[in-house]
Amino acid sequence: MSPKTRRVVVTQRFFDAATIAFLEANGCEVIVADLPPGQADGDLAPEALHGLLTGADGWIVGHARVTHDLLAALPDLKVISRRGVGYERIDLEAVRDLGRVACIAAGGNDASVADHAIAMMLALGRRFRESQANMLSGNWSILMGSDLYRKTVGIIGLGRIGRSLVQRLQGFEARILVHGAGRDPDYAAANNIAHVSLSELLAASDYVSLHAPLTPETRFLINAETLARMKPTAYLINTARGGLVDDQALLEALRNGTIAGAGLDTFMSESDPDYRPVSEALLALPNVVATPHAAASSREGLDRTNRVAAMNVVAVLDGETPPAACVVADGRA
């Protein structure tokens, strides 16, 4: 092995050949973990992660927990690069204290997640799931749906994905309400956006789409009280993070007709197995459209996030700094 070769371990599926070639061209030996079918790196015990990562200089990670103990046991590891944009499972204080760098793949999956949110809105409004189930049972009668065209869409969190959603909603001539950080008067005026309180957004929106990070302040932002403020004809879309929504409260609201339906790509049970029965009950409802945290997982979206994650790794291993939007913790002196 050349002395310039750096060892990069990938614990994600669907890591494309072009990105592997990019890493190799930049002096990296690439090891893609052979995970059992149906298993993600978030399912691996710390001991298993340690075995995979011993001697690694860079780690391209999915949903594994990056803890102080794990990092301390991996002295060669210089950079942790998420193929994704959430970082709540990374101990950022430990990254800084131990002199490492943690990055996200900012900008890689914005379009894919925004497309997914639109798809869920259309599927719910036009009652695709219910119609197909009826047809399979021999009932071909028409169910009356509703348009996305000229509806009011509330967006909670106006980051990169939220802005991609705004761009797509222009074609539907939607009225767009926004709640959350990142006010930009020029952007709001150019895109006909109104910044409103959470209560105003919930009361007025036909669709409420979540695009906020999961923090102590946003945990269970959507709960029994906030669901009760929504229209009974409204739909909730969560392509962001499990934990933004109290899934038990959502289940009760859907059963009781408090809201009309939900499009769910993320669930509390992803981080808390005790919620698995609640997730299964949500999946069984006819007015729920669900996917297994797959909003970012288009072929094109994964290729983009793979490349951004790999570019972050190379930058750090070369002693440089990745783009500011990608760096979430930098412990280098």
Give the active site residue among 65, 89, 229, 293.
293
Contact 127, 145 (CB under 8 A): yes
What pLDDT shows up at residue 216?
A: 93
How confident is the model at residue 22, as a pLDDT? 98
pLDDT per residue over 80-92, tens digit each? 999 999 898 999 9
Tell me the pLDDT tens digit for each residue of 192-231. 999 999 999 999 999 999 999 999 999 999 999 999 999 9
Torsion over CA: 55, 61, 64, 70 (sign) = positive
Which ranges in the chain belong to alpha helices (H)? 17-25, 46-53, 68-72, 92-97, 110-125, 128-136, 160-169, 185-190, 198-204, 224-228, 247-256, 276-284, 299-317
For residue 4, name the pLDDT band (cuts at 50, 70, 90): low
User: Which residues share a beta bridge with 179?
Assistant: 156
Residue 73 has which token pair? 């046991």
pLDDT of residue 182: 76
Enumerate the CATH 3.40.50.720 domain ranges in the chain, comma separated: 6-108+298-330, 110-290
Active-site position among 241, 276, 299, 304 = 241
Residue 290, strand partner residues: 264
What pLDDT is attached to residue 181? Answer: 79
Could you please state the CATH topology (level 3) that the domain comprising 110-290 is classified under: Rossmann fold (3.40.50)
Catalytic residue among 7, 270, 304, 307: 270
User: Has residue 134 got a pLDDT over 90?
Assistant: yes
- Give the tokens for residue 132: 């197909």
Q: What is the mean pLDDT of residues 18-42?
A: 93
Q: Verify whether residue 293 is a known catalytic residue.
A: yes
Q: Cβ–Cβ contacts within 10 Å for residue 283, how many?
A: 13
- Six-digit token string for 52: 């995979």
Percent of the chain with pLDDT over 70: 99
Say whether 241 is catalytic.
yes
Superfamily of domain 6-108+298-330 in the CATH hierarchy? NAD(P)-binding Rossmann-like Domain (3.40.50.720)
3-state helix, strand, coil in the chain (%, to 5): 40, 15, 45
Average pLDDT, the chain: 95
Supply the pTM of this predicted model: 0.89
pLDDT of residue 332: 96
What's the sign of the alpha-carbon dihedral 25, 15, 8, 323? positive
Question: Is residue 36 very low, low, confident or very high in pLDDT (cuts 50, 70, 90)?
Answer: confident
